[in-house]
């Protein structure tokens, strides 16, 4: 049994804590959050200790691993504290919004041979995972083009936008990770465009975009397109297409049921999409936590690492630069 | 070149005449209809002679084949006149609403070795034809169950209902033919239910049903279900499923475009269906006429014959009896 | 908290026990099965007592409700024992294969005002439930026709067939319940056909069928078609269509992912279906157990009762008779 | 009646000539092609004069309009000859592979107020046309992103590649036109990447690409992505997505039938796509010709003009430059 502390009792911490509690090789030792009531409510429901001091939770002897679901600017501090004590970490992305800090943190983690898994949850979703398996198995031959659509159902609140680091670091970063993963190669060139079509004033205020497109190319010429929008009237839209020399794989959205409605106005109509990422990727979060615990219990390599976090962040930085300058950027 | 006269200048005659005119091995000689203006308008547009006397049209020396699209009660008379002169016939179904008359007519046609093709147009529709080909090719192994859905978009006018011979002889007869054809065997037992759900008063007046279901079994145990309704809010619904020992074939409806709409209310919504049989089976009518002409030009057997008309009618009669008596009926 | 004993530690008992253990208003007290090792293994994994005597499990003071997942012939005995002690029951269907015995049991349950829920799990599956809600909400107007397809992936082992009571009582009974439920009215007339197409010798040996169709009509004329087959090469096929005066609802099968494959041979191909009922209805079993516990905790009426079991069984009996005699049967 | 000469008797000329012959307001006067046998065979079948001199065909008094389907380098010469005589022109795209020559030609056409329609056939395809109508009707609110997928079934022969002007001018140009048309605004910035993944040697030889992606932005920030590949194992892939503030429109490919196959290996599998552009856009070519003739007969503006040809070509030029330099290009 792996004793685990979950740091952060917000919506993402709640999911992780529940999944830890449900994993048969893990024991949820503590939930820590400076908001005492949040920590107590979550820990209480799951039979764990409630703490307000995240660092103290890391330091406990009965804790062998921590799950970090706290605000982004605290990730590095908590991650390194755990690594220095030889404890395993599952950390929400990004490592940090600042590239230099992220780089320094990754260097230290690697020097200490720390076991840190970055929480790219989509890789663990059954359809994404099946696509990757099919590609690796050679089912569609050599990958030529990856097309990723990822649109949020509604604009996040202003204070979220303010601290998000911008759409590329906040939203696109998931797709950049999926792009790298499905391409099976590192992008070496990236070109992005950004627009303010949903809420131009708000976007201008934070020098951000709400609607973006980017394209990337690997050294061997494989290509990847990503499109994002911060508001979508028909819901949380998540689709992927991988086109290869021997075929194509398409991934559709999930809906609560399989009902198709036929009326005077239209035929074959399906329901709105599963609402947002917590609902859409519920199974993925569980599989992600299970994969983390499995790797610890069986002493296997963690399925993702700090380098994945770093590379996705670097691509996001290139996108920011490209959208600003109107030039393609070489990824170094 | 086969000289052809089209008898009847109504909506079905119009289709046949246009298709004859477009067939490169056929020449549209005349369009005949007691309504002179209908005959003239259609014949004029297609460069053929307009006639008001159908029998005279059959008798012309430059006519080698006739297409009969006149009211049902005239079918036998015109068909036999043509057969007696050794002329080929493409006749709209049914042969007649009366079984005894139909039987006598078929006997004479067969005695005279007449070349009569019954217009079961669905057999010539590309998807129906491809299903049959796949079955014959053994793609789904032995057929076990055929499920046919066939629903009209809206209730026909009262005078049509009055002379229709009832839903089984008028509407179900198409599905009975398709059922026989896809089963590849003759049904030997049939059981039907009829209800009055769309317009109970009208149906009672003519002792008819507007909503029916039936099931049939062949001697080897293959099964077929048919459901019909005389009014369907979402349009002309035509679907078929064939389930066999090695797989299943499904057939969907046709729509004018492939657009799928996503809105706040629903996702993946398709358009209403192609409106009604003339539109839905436009290509089928053309292929049917082409098959008729091809068989004449190449002296091949006609793809359907009077026996097909007789057998479908007999099954319709059994359905009438079964729905009335509440008993399964042995098909003799 | 409701103390629950699960009777039967086979595959269905395993599901129920796991769901009881996961329900926050229930406590899994005991798992009872004459096969000691099965009881021990399941009870051990879930932290409950293992017992070999089902009756003793019912009698425990800390048990307020029982879930019966034992062989069919034991259902009535265990159900009545629990009812006599005022304990609530969730019982797998059917009540019994014998109509007279079932009737007597139901009478006693009703006389004692016993709280017995029959486990028609499909009613709790999200898509089935959403269809029913849409119908009740009037979304498709008056129901006219219900079409139910339900095919098993592979022939059950011979000893299962032998004790199954025949396809109508064993397999069709689920669809008969769903038919009643979606029609919203009781069928008054039923006509069935049965064939031996998958394994004729085996079916003859047990005077059973492997491929059946039936149609039912309610007093107001609503119609329902059901088709079943005991073996289906492409998997466990579960589809429902409800056609009404204002529209239609279609339900598709479930698959593990949303991937669509495009290759040289075909386009848009989806995966095989979720394998069999335990997998397909996993969520339904959980929702069913939750509904049972909710009704107990909140003292609400149970969502299904013994009358539902009785009525489905009576329809199955009618189907047996109809398939044998070749006549439609009046449901009394 | 409009007298029309079709110039070029190759595969595209054959389509145009057949459509002219089938249009009731047009008369096919002549088919001209330096290959006498091609001209004779086509003209003969359609009852028109065969000529080997395209210029002489233009000059005929009974010719009021010409359809140009000859090799690209002859387009300008023939177009201007017709325009100078006041004759209307339907010209296959591109105007020319050279931008300067195209510009000069367009200037002359405009100076002479010539009536020239560029053959962007996709605009006349029913699904494309319905998408555009829905957008113009405001059905999806403000357009934000257009995603165009367009992949050829197989690599064209080497001599075709050699004279194609490169993938952007030859293949992408169709999508650039559709992009402009669906965006409803002119792109002002474009960024493209090109790869050699299908046949690297051949592509290197002609300094061309076989796999490309590009993205464009309009002045108001609307975005468009296009992806192309010269070889696709599953057929001629043509899909479009338009995402707007109030919804999304998706367009699927066409297949010969609606059959879906279910086997042990997969479910819901559809057929390969309609093979290539002549088959896929057969209806579009007919509607295009009809629109051309309608505009002439009713003296309405032509639905597309030389400026459309010029703008698409300019975007293609920008794509060539961007792919070469790795920079985004401002469209002037």
pLDDT in tens, A94-149: 899 999 999 999 999 999 999 999 999 999 999 999 999 999 999 999 999 999 99
Question: Residue D138: pLDDT band by 50, 70, 90 thresholds?
Answer: very high
Find tokens 């399964």 and name the residue: B328
D297 contacts chain A (CB < 8 A): no
pLDDT tens-digit series, residues C15-40: 999 999 999 899 999 999 999 999 99
Of D233, D255, D268, the CB nearest to C269: D268
A259 contacts chain C (CB < 8 A): yes
Contacts of A268 in chain C (CB under 8 A): 250
C282 contacts chain B (CB < 8 A): no
**CA-nearest residue of chain C to D270?**
C267
Give the Cα-Cα-Cα angle A189, A193, A196 (nearest 5 degrees).
155
pLDDT tens-digit series, residues D92-119: 988 999 999 999 999 999 999 999 999 9
Of A196, A225, A234, the CB nearest to D225: A225
Contacts of A229 in chain D (CB under 8 A): 144-145, 243
pLDDT surpasses 90 at D276: no
A127 contacts chain C (CB < 8 A): yes
**CA-nearest residue of chain C to B218?**
C195
D265 contacts chain B (CB < 8 A): no
- With an 8 Å Cβ cutoff, are C229 and B196 in contact? no
pLDDT tens-digit series, residues B81-110: 999 999 999 999 889 999 999 999 999 999
- With an 8 Å Cβ cutoff, are B272 and A266 in contact? yes
Of D251, D259, D264, the CB nearest to B258: D251
Judge contact between B180 and B318, C-beta under 8 A.
Answer: no
**CA-nearest residue of chain D to C253?**
D267
**CA-nearest residue of chain A to B274?**
A267
Give me the pLDDT at residue B99, please: 93
D225 contacts chain A (CB < 8 A): yes
- The rounded distance, in Å, linking the Cα atoms of A318 and A272 is 34
C253 contacts chain D (CB < 8 A): yes
**CA-nearest residue of chain B to A264?**
B234
Q: Which residues contact B285 (CB under 8 A, 6 or more apart)?
A: B15, B16, B19, B121, B124, B278
pLDDT surpasses 90 at D48: yes
pLDDT surpasses 90 at D313: yes
| Total Cβ atoms within 10 A of residue D163 | 13
Is the backbone peptide bond immediately before C137 cis, with ω within 30 degrees of 0? no
**CA-nearest residue of chain A to B232?**
A264
- With an 8 Å Cβ cutoff, are D259 and B246 in contact? no
Contacts of A234 in chain B (CB under 8 A): 262-264, 267
- With an 8 Å Cβ cutoff, are B197 and C222 in contact? yes
Give me the pLDDT at residue D27, please: 97
CB pairs under 8 A between A and B: 51
Those chains having 3 or more beta-carbon pairs within 8 angstroms of chain D are A, B, C
Q: What is the CATH number of domain A2-119?
A: 3.40.50.720
The mean pLDDT of B34-45, rounded to a whole number, is: 96
Distance, in angstroms, between A251 CA and closest chain B CA? 14
C266 contacts chain A (CB < 8 A): no
**CA-nearest residue of chain C to D274?**
C267
CB pairs under 8 A between A and C: 75
The mean pLDDT of D251-260, rounded to a whole number, is: 95
Q: Which uninterrupted H or E stretch holds B106?
A: helix B99-111
pLDDT surpasses 90 at D274: no
* pLDDT > 70 in chain B, percent: 100
E-strand ranges in chain B read 2-7, 26-32, 49-51, 65-68, 88-91, 116-118, 143-151, 187-195, 211-218, 223-229, 237-244, 247-251, 260-262, 329-330
3-state helix, strand, coil in chain D (%, to 5): 40, 25, 35
* pLDDT > 70 in chain C, percent: 100
| Total Cβ atoms within 10 A of residue C156 | 14
Judge contact between B285 and B16, C-beta under 8 A.
Answer: yes
Give me the pLDDT at residue C332, please: 83
- The rounded distance, in Å, linking the Cα atoms of A156 and A143 is 34
The rounded mean pLDDT for chain D is 96
Of A140, A249, A263, the CB nearest to C247: A263
Contacts of C258 in chain A (CB under 8 A): 127, 251-254
Give me the pLDDT at residue C315, please: 97
Distance, in angstroms, between B229 CA and closest chain C CA? 9
Give one word for D225, left, alpha or beta, with left for phi > 0 and alpha for psi -120 to 50.
beta
pLDDT tens-digit series, residues B270-311: 999 988 888 889 999 999 999 999 999 999 999 999 999 999
- With an 8 Å Cβ cutoff, are D258 and B254 in contact? yes
Contacts of C233 in chain D (CB under 8 A): 263-264
C197 contacts chain B (CB < 8 A): yes
- The rounded distance, in Å, linking the Cα atoms of A164 and A125 is 24
Give me the pLDDT at residue D308, please: 96
Give me the pLDDT at residue A275, please: 83
A46 contacts chain C (CB < 8 A): no
pLDDT tens-digit series, residues A269-282: 999 998 888 888 99
**CA-nearest residue of chain B to D126?**
B257
Residue B329: beta bridge partners?
B190
Looking only at the bridges linking them, the beta strands covering D116-118 and D49-51 are unpaired
- Alpha helix ranges (H) inside chain C: 11-22, 36-46, 54-59, 75-84, 99-111, 126-136, 158-163, 167, 173-183, 200-205, 277-280, 282-297, 306-325
* pLDDT > 90 in chain C, percent: 95
Question: Residue A208: pLDDT band by 50, 70, 90 thresholds?
Answer: very high
Give me the pLDDT at residue A71, please: 94
Q: Where in chain A is the domain with CATH 3.30.360.10?
A: 123-278+311-330
C151 contacts chain B (CB < 8 A): yes
- With an 8 Å Cβ cutoff, are B233 and A264 in contact? yes
Contacts of C225 in chain B (CB under 8 A): 213, 215, 225, 227
Residue B228: beta bridge partners?
B150, B212
pLDDT surpasses 90 at B332: no
Interface with chain C: mutation pick from A247, A264, A268, A279, highest number of C CBs within 10 Å: A247
Query: What is the Cβ-side half-sphere exposure of residue D332, based on CA atoms within 13 angstroms?
Result: 1
Give me the pLDDT at residue B177, please: 97
The rounded mean pLDDT for chain B is 96
Give me the pLDDT at residue A274, please: 87
Judge contact between B143 and B241, C-beta under 8 A.
Answer: no
pLDDT tens-digit series, residues D11-37: 999 999 999 999 989 999 999 999 999
- With an 8 Å Cβ cutoff, are D266 and C266 in contact? yes
pLDDT surpasses 90 at C133: yes
pLDDT surpasses 90 at A54: yes
The mean pLDDT of C74-85, rounded to a whole number, is: 98
Judge contact between A252 and C260, C-beta under 8 A.
Answer: yes
- With an 8 Å Cβ cutoff, are D243 and A223 in contact? no
CATH architecture of the domain formed by C123-278+311-330: 2-Layer Sandwich (3.30)
pLDDT surpasses 90 at C276: no
C229 contacts chain B (CB < 8 A): yes
D250 contacts chain B (CB < 8 A): yes
pLDDT tens-digit series, residues A219-276: 999 999 999 999 999 999 999 999 999 999 999 999 999 999 999 999 999 999 988 8
Question: Residue C44: pLDDT band by 50, 70, 90 thresholds?
Answer: very high
Distance, in angstroms, between C211 CA and closest chain B CA? 8
Contacts of C219 in chain B (CB under 8 A): none
- The rounded distance, in Å, linking the Cα atoms of A222 and A204 is 34
Is the backbone peptide bond immediately before B93 cis, with ω within 30 degrees of 0? no
pLDDT tens-digit series, residues C138-170: 999 999 999 999 999 999 999 999 999 999 999
- With an 8 Å Cβ cutoff, are A191 and D215 in contact? yes
**CA-nearest residue of chain A to C259?**
A251
């Amino acid at each position: 049994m792996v004793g685990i502390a979950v740091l952060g009792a917000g919506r993402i911490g709640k999911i992780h804590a529940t999944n830890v509690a449900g994993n048969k090789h893990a024991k949820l030792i503590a939930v820590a959050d400076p908001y005492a009531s949040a920590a107590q409510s979550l820990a209480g429901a799951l039979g764990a200790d409630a703490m307000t001091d995240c660092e103290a939770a890391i330091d406990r002897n009965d804790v062998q691993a921590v799950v970090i679901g706290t605000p982004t600017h605290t990730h590095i501090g908590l991650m390194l504290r755990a690594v220095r004590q030889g404890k395993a970490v599952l950390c929400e992305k990004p490592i940090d919004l600042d590239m230099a800090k992220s780089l320094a943190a990754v260097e230290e983690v690697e020097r200490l041979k720390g076991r840190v898994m970055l929480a790219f949850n989509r890789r663990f979703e059954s359809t994404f995972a099946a696509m990757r398996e099919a590609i690796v198995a050679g089912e569609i031959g050599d990958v030529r083009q990856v097309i990723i659509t990822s649109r949020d159902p509604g604009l996040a609140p202003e204070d979220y936008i303010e601290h998000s680091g911008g759409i590329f670091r906040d939203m696109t970063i998931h797709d950049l990770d999926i792009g790298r993963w499905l391409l099976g190669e590192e992008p070496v060139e990236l070109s992005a465009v950004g627009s303010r079509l949903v809420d131009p004033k708000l976007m201008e205020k934070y020098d951000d975009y709400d609607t973006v497109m980017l394209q990337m190319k690997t050294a061997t010429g494989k290509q990847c397109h990503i499109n994002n929008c911060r508001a979508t009237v028909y819901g949380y839209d998540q689709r992927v297409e991988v086109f290869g020399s021997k075929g194509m794989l398409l991934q559709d959205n999930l809906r609560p049921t399989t009902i198709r409605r036929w009326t005077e106005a239209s035929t074959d109509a399906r329901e709105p999409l599963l609402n947002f990422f917590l609902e859409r990727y519920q199974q993925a979060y569980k599989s992600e936590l299970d994969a983390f615990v499995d790797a610890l219990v069986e002493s296997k390599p963690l399925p993702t690492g700090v380098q994945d976090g770093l590379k996705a962040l670097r691509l996001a930085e290139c996108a920011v630069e490209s959208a600003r300058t109107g030039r393609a950027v070489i990824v170094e």
